[in-house]
Structure 1
């Protein structure tokens, strides 16, 4: 029997139900997501894209409470590398999400850098590499955001490296961590995105453990990933090809990742995210049930 991972709090997210947008005809209704995530055996959820779940705190509290659920975090995308000109738009977006996150009793705000390549159309929106000035804007902007979110809402930001953003590879992630204040900026390590971009999650946890504030659990199919890399596909089409797969069938192996996280000796959320947009409405629940069973077999 696996050792108990008593510092790891497992949850899931709308992403595992094929939800990428606040409103989309390809997505399951939010009521069905809440019903099924509870049925699958999870007690913690992320809120997903702002506007997918109800944004009235009283109503959302009622909906999650009666299903025995609790909220772990909210999520925002932002382009802080664009410098001070982007700050007002970022602050407005963050304010909406952080306010609801705080009202739901959560303590984390997952911050994802904006895409340099459109995940639907594959249009190149910006160069994939930042200039030195843009790196400074990104790191200084995240520190400012971390301070404001903490002081205003009592939340910790956890920055999420993500495919087709400027924060993706081991080199970029380490550069970002080395340039940011650990008191203000922690990392949301997404095991699938990090593997997608060539990173080693266990090594990152062992090297920068004090910076790991949150986990997303995800695996990639190595065979599909090899094709994606060979063809230079954007992330959206790669997901439609099944690059993110059901554990334990992909990489990285989650048992050593969870064990390394447990050794940090701090409480961490580990939120399951299996990108499946778009997907048939009956597909997510059986996968979620099997994934929860697998994580229990790992001790989580």
Structure 2
């Protein structure tokens, strides 16, 4: 067996959004902390990353977003200097594309400041969360049909064109209960989008919540995978749950520690190695009370899987 290239380990910063990690009881208390002391939030996250042996990060929503980073560090270059001083690297940034904002030119303009930040701070990927579905049976209905998919594809093409001009790739994320998470959705959106401009960020847990096998669904599109979220889940989630402001919190009930769910990690590791983008393994652990322990456990688990099936080591 030819040994695989070593990998670095990264994490999406939503990992740190559980109030218990901050000694708090509610999301509202955490929101007050992040508004009053953003410097403390960033320094605490950076300390935890170092303790966990994580070297790469994916930015996400406030308070771990680019606007808060600008507030605390003054510029993208200042943020990059802080990362460098802590032996950390920005890999990617998450961006939510709203269904009501799909004018192609406007969508590209709206995300440009974020793209410029990512490029200046050392990131190479914009991970785009697609518009969410509406609750089944809601009025007025929202159909995840060819018309909506085509409008989203148009917006993604313009975002992808803008991002490439700045040295950043645009990758569509498989988001549970969005228009891009079932096997059918993934096939449709990947077919509609130009592979030169729109890439793929599969999320193993979210695909599992859509009652699909991540390996089987992603394999036909492996050449478009530039980044992936490694996350476990206990099984599918009902498609007809209320899709409202609490849907992402509801997802967490079905997510679990890596290796304790139903994802076939050995096959997944082989598939990710075949993409040519296995230099960073991005662990995404949604808002966990013990992010340090979970990150260490996840990294240790993935290292053992990669060593078993790929004969690889980590950096």
Residue 53 of structure 2 corresponds to residue 44 of structure 1: no
Say if 2:180 and 2:186, in contact at 8 Å, map to a contact too. Answer: yes
Say if 2:80 and 2:122, in contact at 8 Å, map to a contact too. Answer: no
In structure 2, the partner of 1:189 is: 202
In structure 2, the partner of 1:159 is: 172
Counterpart selection for 2:193 from 177, 180, 183: 180
Say if 1:157 and 1:185, in contact at 8 Å, map to a contact too. Answer: yes
Say if 1:109 and 1:158, in contact at 8 Å, map to a contact too. Answer: yes
In structure 2, the partner of 1:217 is: 230
Please state how far the C-alpha of 1:40 moved relative to its aligned partner: 0.5
In structure 1, the partner of 2:294 is: 287
- Structure 1: state its 5+ residue gaps: none
Partners of 1:144 and 1:14 in 2: CA distance: 27
Q: What TM-score do the two structures reach when normalised by structure 2? A: 0.79
Residue by residue, what CA displacement relative to the aligned partner does 1:136-181 show, whole Å, maximum 9, x if unpaired?
2111221122112112x11110111201211111101101111111
Residue by residue, what CA displacement relative to the aligned partner does 1:91-123 show, whole Å, maximum 9, x if unpaired?
3431121111001111111111132359xxx9x
Say if 1:81 and 1:136, in contact at 8 Å, map to a contact too. Answer: no
Say if 1:169 and 1:197, in contact at 8 Å, map to a contact too. Answer: yes
Residue by residue, what CA displacement relative to the aligned partner does 1:52-100 show, whole Å, maximum 9, x if unpaired?
251221331232112210010112111367542x742x33431121111
- Structure 2: state its 5+ residue gaps: 20-26, 35-39, 307-313
Residue 44 of structure 2 corresponds to residue 32 of structure 1: yes
Q: How many pairs are equivalent? A: 283
RMSD: 3.1
Residue 86 of structure 2 corresponds to residue 59 of structure 1: no
In structure 1, the partner of 2:23 is: none
Partners of 2:89 and 2:95 in 1: CA distance: 19
Say if 1:8 and 1:267, in contact at 8 Å, map to a contact too. Answer: yes
Q: What TM-score do the two structures reach when normalised by structure 1? A: 0.82
Say if 1:81 and 1:134, in contact at 8 Å, map to a contact too. Answer: no
Say if 2:203 and 2:228, in contact at 8 Å, map to a contact too. Answer: yes
Residues 80 and 155 of structure 1, relative CA distance in 2, 3 Å threshold? farther
In structure 2, the partner of 1:135 is: 149
Choose between structure 1 and 2: higher helix proportion. Answer: 2
Residues 268 and 184 of structure 1, relative CA distance in 2, 3 Å threshold? farther
Residues 259 and 100 of structure 1, relative CA distance in 2, 3 Å threshold? same
Residues 130 and 99 of structure 1, relative CA distance in 2, 3 Å threshold? same
